[in-house]
Structure 1
Amino acid sequence: FATDIEKNVVHGSDSPETASFEISYFFNRFEII
């Protein structure tokens, strides 16, 4: 359970495409290897 997007303890995306989109909430493209 989380009350907002930045304070989730655990999160899992439903697809690789969704994961790519959600990762951009936290990292810019230069921070991802």
Structure 2
Amino acid sequence: MSTKHTQTGNSTDYRLKIMTLGIQFNKGKT
């Protein structure tokens, strides 16, 4: 059980989701 590895993966996935949401939002705004 590597909790640290899981946290790192989750934070990376979270940042990717935020970036994707931001891109979609910008596209819809234009």
| Fold similarity call, TM over 0.5 | no
Structure possessing the higher relative contact order (Cα contacts under 8 Å, 6 or more residues apart): 1
Structure with higher helix content: 2
Query: Whose radius of gyration is greater, 1 or 2?
Result: 2
TM-score (norm 2): 0.33
